[in-house]
Each structure stands twice: as C-alpha cells, then as structure tokens.
Amino acid sequence: MRLLNKIAIVTGAGTGIGHAIALALAKEGANVVIGDIQEGSAKRTASEIEAMGRKSLAVKCDVRSNSEVENMIQETVEKFGRIDILVNNAGVSTMASVVDMTEEEWDYNMDVNAKGVFLCSRAVARQMIKQGEGGKIVSLGSIAGKSGSQYYAHYNASKAAVIAFTASLARELAPYNINVNAVCPGIVETSMHAREIKWTAKLRGMKEEEVKSGYLAFTPLGRLEQPEDVAKLVVFLASEEAGFITGQAINVDGGIMTRR
C-alpha cells in the first residue's frame, strides 16, 4: 500500500470524481476525510471507506466559506493529529455564452473552482508547515483550463486560475517539501457531465445522442473517461513515487489535447 496510514482530505468527495478519488486513496491505505457541501453524500462515502477497513470522517464543508474550511481542518487534526494529503476536487460548471452570462454565474464558477482551491490549500499548507514533515496537495484542474471552449468561458477561466495557482504555490511550498500539482481531466462520465450534455444539446440545437457521439469521436482512445481514470493519477501524485514532481498540470484526457 503506497499511502498506508496517511491522512487525506478530499473535497467534493460525496459523488463523482471525488468519490472515486476517496475510495482509491483508501484502497492504498489512507484514512480519508470527506468534505462535501452535501453532508448526506459525505457520510455515505465515509461509510464505504470504513467498510474497507480504513478510518474516515465526514465533514459538511462549502469550500467557498473560509470558516467552514477552517472547521474541516480543525476536525481533521482533532481526530487524526495531522494532514498528509489534500485533494482539491470540489467543483461546479454551468454553460452560457459570454453575452448572456450573468455575474452570478461567473462568480459561482470562480468561487467554487478557484477560490475554494485557494482557501483549502492555504489552510492545509499552514498545517503542513507546522507539522514540518512535508505533504502533497493535488488540485483538480481541467484541460478546459488550457484552452478556450464555447459556452464555458467562466469555467475555463476558473480552471486556468487553478493551474496558475498550482504553479505559484508549488514554488512557495517547495522549501517545506510540500509537492503541489494539478490533474487535468478531459470529458469525464459523471452526473455533472450528463447535465452538460443536456445543456449542450439545447444551446447548439442538437440531439443528446449527437453530442455524446461527438465527445467519443473527439477522444482518441475512443471512450469516455471514468472517474477512476482520474483517481489513479491522483493516487500517484499523492504517493512518494511522485516525490520529485511539483508545479505540474498533468493531462489525463484520453489524448484529447493532442488535437490542439
């Protein structure tokens, strides 16, 4: 087990990619704190981890709220004594053309996807520095943060912010032996993705099946990405095998970015 007895926090781990990441970390021996805005979902994931023989803690946390983030850190330290790994997974998306986009939509994407990464990383970095034993911070970026795409300007901007923040934080925390990296998924098959298919079909006047077929055709490996594909890379970056990797934004996208 690559992460035996490590203490990890995963935000937005009640469902989707975060859920897969939490289970993958536990499988490698980590005890995992589940931070999620939906307390019920967090508790279900925590129960699954405990059923695997690992320890877990479910904490209701809106990553946009500094007080809730600080509470999550406090509860983690009170139960486990330290933090070794942070995975900034919590994220949202909406779709709109820039000319029709509301200020609220822009702020929602930026606050969850970018500000949330800042608040959680800042709180955990302070704790890791205090511990003096290094650590791993992995944030969920996106290939959307490396390119432009119609109807996703606010989402793309928020993920670009995550990538730039990751590089900056990596330089600041390197003297403390804290590795900071981002994972950039492509088109991942989740409930969020299912909503986006409906939105895309409506905005572009297409059938949902046409949208799905387009996504498959756009992915060189010929299938939609699964949450577990992302989780495998996160586990690697959280392990000592990635001890000399920091400040990177690594694609896990089935080859989509080879088309750029």
For residue 41 the two structure tokens come to 């979902």
For residue 110 the two structure tokens come to 């930026």
d(CA 15, CA 21): 10
Residues belonging to the active site = 155
Residue in the structure block whose two tokens are 């000319």: 99
Strand order through the sheet with 85-88: 56-60, 31-36, 7-11, 85-88, 135-140, 178-185, 249-252
Contact 199, 95 (CB under 8 A): yes
Residue in the structure block whose two tokens are 């990296």: 181
Contacts of 171 (CB under 8 A, 6+ apart): 247
Question: What is the distance in angstroms between the CA of the first residue and the CA of the last residue of the chain?
Answer: 37
Closest CA to 193 of 139, 158, 234, 152: 152
